[in-house]
């Protein structure tokens, strides 16, 4: 079956070389039982590739199930995947089959595999290597014949270096890697996708499909689309319903696109080797905060040294005036951004002896620059702020509740 037939059958729209190559790999690997790892940004369409692989495989008449590993709590994911015996844990009133048992002979799609706990990763590795699994609370080894397709929007190779993902499982999963391109990397497909969505929504709402003027098309193509196809579809639906005119102009289209610059109140940090391959300075806001805190720490350290020198020699105060002015200016620049962030202590005070004769003997307590320590501190502050409510604390930290639960165990934080 050629690539165009695949696109027609599964509703794939686009002709970019990166998309065509990903589809070609999916078709070639479909008839095998090799494990496939699909990577790509959120909303890029990774699940569609898993369905294509299953539909073109010898397992197409057997079950297919998609499991979102990030949506299952850490305490129940083993039971969901591998089943459990009656009485194996509180609430286990009956025995239950897991997905690897019920989908025997078929395909299981593990989405967000990077969110899977380390203990579950060990169980999954055994299934991939031997086809064997054990229900929770049982000692009986069972066999299963399931093809695994995994997907992630994380850098699993980086996760292996910091202990968040098993290296042996990573190489076992990525027997055949498929990279789904981001929408911004296939700009020529954006107008085609938008037109398809516009026609679909016109039929849904029994209205005439919207049309884009040339300026509006340019706006559409040059927008970054961080949410990829999912975001494009959402924007198309908004415009189909809310546009005052079916002929959409550039300025009107901009009203429906998020103002990324206005929504990001964090400072832009220039220089210093923080760039990534796609031109962004940092991967996420947390790294920007860390960089900001480190810069603040340098300023505080300079102030401490200057303070001690002035105490020892009051005549040096004038020599430090330029540094004082510089730090004052930095404070005024950073103040708006800092006021919008949680208060984080980045430095300890200078320890001075009360004896004036020994004032030159001072001790400066250096802060830890360990990111894990800072992360633990932020988690504890968030829990204290929200009075131990994990869900609210996780939302404030910008992570999932299950990830927060894992961090609590990892750092041995007692609530």
Q: Evaluate whether 39 touches 153 at the Cβ level (below 8 Å).
A: yes
The CATH fold of domain 184-262:
Helicase, Ruva Protein; domain 3 (1.10.8)
Q: Do domains 3-181 and 184-262 have the same CATH topology?
A: no
- CATH class for domain 371-410? mainly alpha
For residue 329, what pLDDT is reported?
A: 52
- For the chain, the straight-line distance linking the first and the last C-alpha, in angstroms and rounded, comes to 57
Q: Evaluate whether 33 touches 147 at the Cβ level (below 8 Å).
A: yes
For residue 294, what pLDDT is reported?
A: 59
In the chain, where the domains are located: 3-181, 184-262, 285-363, 371-410
Distances (CA, A) of 83 to 93, 99, 135, 144, 402: 13, 7, 5, 13, 20
For residue 394, what pLDDT is reported?
A: 81
HSE-up of 170 (CA within 13 Å, CB side)?
18
Long-range contact set of residues 324-333: C-beta below 8 Å, sequence gap at least 24: 327/299, 327/302, 327/303, 330/299, 333/267
| Beta pairing class for 64-68 and 141-143 | unpaired
The contacts of residue 368 (CB under 8 Å, 6+ apart) are 374
Architecture of domain 3-181: 3-Layer(aba) Sandwich (3.40)
Question: What's the pTM value of the predicted model, to 2 decimals?
Answer: 0.62
For residue 346, what pLDDT is reported?
A: 41
CA distance 187 to 166: 35
Nearest to 221 by CA among 256, 272, 248, 186: 186
Q: Evaluate whether 226 touches 263 at the Cβ level (below 8 Å).
A: no
Pure H helices in 247-369? 250-256, 260-263, 285-312, 321-339
For residue 338, what pLDDT is reported?
A: 40
Q: Evaluate whether 397 touches 379 at the Cβ level (below 8 Å).
A: yes
Burial of 118 (0-12, 13-18, 19+ CB in 10 A): middle
Kindly give the confidence (pLDDT) of every residue in the chain, 415 residues in length, as a single tens digit, with 9 standing for 90 and above: 688 999 999 999 999 999 999 999 999 999 999 999 999 999 999 999 999 999 999 999 999 999 999 999 988 999 999 999 988 888 888 899 999 999 999 999 999 999 999 999 999 999 999 999 999 999 999 999 999 999 999 999 999 999 999 999 999 999 999 999 999 999 999 999 999 999 999 999 998 999 999 999 999 999 999 999 999 999 999 999 998 888 999 999 999 998 764 444 444 444 444 444 444 444 445 555 555 665 666 666 666 666 666 666 666 555 555 555 555 555 444 444 444 444 444 444 444 444 444 444 444 444 555 667 778 888 888 888 888 888 888 888 878 877 887 888 777 887 6
| Beta pairing class for 64-68 and 176-179 | unpaired
For residue 297, what pLDDT is reported?
A: 62
| Beta pairing class for 176-179 and 132-134 | unpaired
Burial of 265 (0-12, 13-18, 19+ CB in 10 A): exposed
What region does 154 belong to: left with phi over 0, alpha with psi -120 to 50, or beta? beta
């Amino acid at each position: 079956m050629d690539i165009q037939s695949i696109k027609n059958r599964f509703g794939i729209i686009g002709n970019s070389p990166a998309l065509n190559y990903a589809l070609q790999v999916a078709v070639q690997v479909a008839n095998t039982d090799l494990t496939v790892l699909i990577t790509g940004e959120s909303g890029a369409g990774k699940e569609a590739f898993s369905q294509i692989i299953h539909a073109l495989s010898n397992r197409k008449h057997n079950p297919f199930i998609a499991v979102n590993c990030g949506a299952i709590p850490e305490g129940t994911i083993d039971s969901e995947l591998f089943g459990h015996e009656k009485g194996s844990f509180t609430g286990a009133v009956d025995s239950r089959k897991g997905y690897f048992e019920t989908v025997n002979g078929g395909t299981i799609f593990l989405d967000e595999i990077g969110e899977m706990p380390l203990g579950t990763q060990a169980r999954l590795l055994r299934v991939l290597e031997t086809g064997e699994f054990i229900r929770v609370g049982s000692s009986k080894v069972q066999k299963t014949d399931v093809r695994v397709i995994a997907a992630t929007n994380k850098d699993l190779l980086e996760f292996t270096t910091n202990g968040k993902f098993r290296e042996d499982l990573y190489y076992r999963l990525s027997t055949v890697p498929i990279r789904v391109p981001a929408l911004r990397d296939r700009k020529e497909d954006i107008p085609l996708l938008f037109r398809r969505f516009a026609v679909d929504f016109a039929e849904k709402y029994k209205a005439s499909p919207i049309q884009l003027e040339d300026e509006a098309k340019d706006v559409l193509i040059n927008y970054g689309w961080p949410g990829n196809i999912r975001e494009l579809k959402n924007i198309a639906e908004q415009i189909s319903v809310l546009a005052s005119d079916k002929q959409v102009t550039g300025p009107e289209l901009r009203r429906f696109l998020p103002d990324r610059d206005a929504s990001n109140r964090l400072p832009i940090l220039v220089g210093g080797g923080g760039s990534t391959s796609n031109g962004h300075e940092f991967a996420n806001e947390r790294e920007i905060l860390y960089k900001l805190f480190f810069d603040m720490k340098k300023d505080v350290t300079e102030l401490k040294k200057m303070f001690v020198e002035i105490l020892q020699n009051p005549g040096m105060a004038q020599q430090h005036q330029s540094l004082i002015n510089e730090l004052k200016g930095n404070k005024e620049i950073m103040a708006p951004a800092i006021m919008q962030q949680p208060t984080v202590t980045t430095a300890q005070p200078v320890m001075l002896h009360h004896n004036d004769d020994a004032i030159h003997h001072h001790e400066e307590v250096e802060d830890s620059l360990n990111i894990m320590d800072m992360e633990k501190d932020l988690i504890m502050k968030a829990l204290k702020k929200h009075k131990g409510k994990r869900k609210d604390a996780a939302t404030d930290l910008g992570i999932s509740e299950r990830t927060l639960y894992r961090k609590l165990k990892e750092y041995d934080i007692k609530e």
